[in-house]
Amino acid sequence: MRLTIIGCSGSFPGPDSPASCYLVEADGFRLLLDLGNGALGALQRHAGLYDIDAVCLSHLHADHCLDLCSYCVARIYAPGGARPRIPVYGPAGTAQRMDQAFGLHEHHGMTDAFDFVTLTPGTRQIGPLGVTLATMSHPVETFGFRLEHAGRAVAYSADTGPTGALAELARGADLLLCEASFADEPGLPEGLHLTARQAGEYATGGAVGQLVLTHLVPWNDREQSLREAASAYTGPLSLAASGRVVDLS
């Protein structure tokens, strides 16, 4: 299993990264985890436009799903004719929401490009990947992921406040890709996002192989995020960066 970080900027694109998008490859299968704003551009440095086999959307906030509109255009109007539909997994209502974002169109809609599948908590197979989904703590329905292949496991928090469901996903994972949106300070809202220190606590609790901090909001101090996470986790720790590849094979 190979993970390529396409976009890791939290809540909106930053100067050096699109919003959330991760390319997961296994046995030649290519899955996109989230497709936030700006990600379709950077994706083309790492995969052909039409080499994607499936897309999973953790939730329907713009920074995790909006470039599906751009990808719809790229698939429908491809030179030589529309490309075959690929599955898009997302929370209930994904097709309708993405259709609204795409806008009224004379001839085509989202379902011409994508076969929408509604996600529910539990385990399912997507291509060669075993995928476990759990509901995170966020203002809209949001799924965290655990992807397993050939004895390796990657856990992805998506967007979440503290929740035992993330601890379950992360347990014994080789890699925890965990959001760290908030700087550690008093009075943070509940059920929204994690601090880097909390990401470190989940990494320690799950005894994960390594922790990668992601969903890095442009106005935060990244060195401070690393220090906060390191105060709670002594294992291998790093920041996500657009274009970074983590090979777990």
Binding footprint of Zn ion on the chain (CB under 5 A): 61, 63, 159
Tell me how crowded residue 73 is: count the other CB atoms within 10 A of its CB: 14
Min CB(210)–Zn ion separation in Å: 22
Min CB(49)–Zn ion separation in Å: 24
Beta strands 152-156 and 175-179: pairing type?
parallel
Name the residue nearer to Zn ion (CB basis): 54 or 216: 216
Min CB(125)–Zn ion separation in Å: 26
3 state DSSP class of 204 = helix
- Contact between 184 and 205 under an 8 Å Cβ cutoff? The reply is no
Angstrom distances, CA of residue 50 to CA of 204, 220, 229: 38, 35, 37
CA distance 32 to 16: 20
Min CB(161)–Zn ion separation in Å: 11
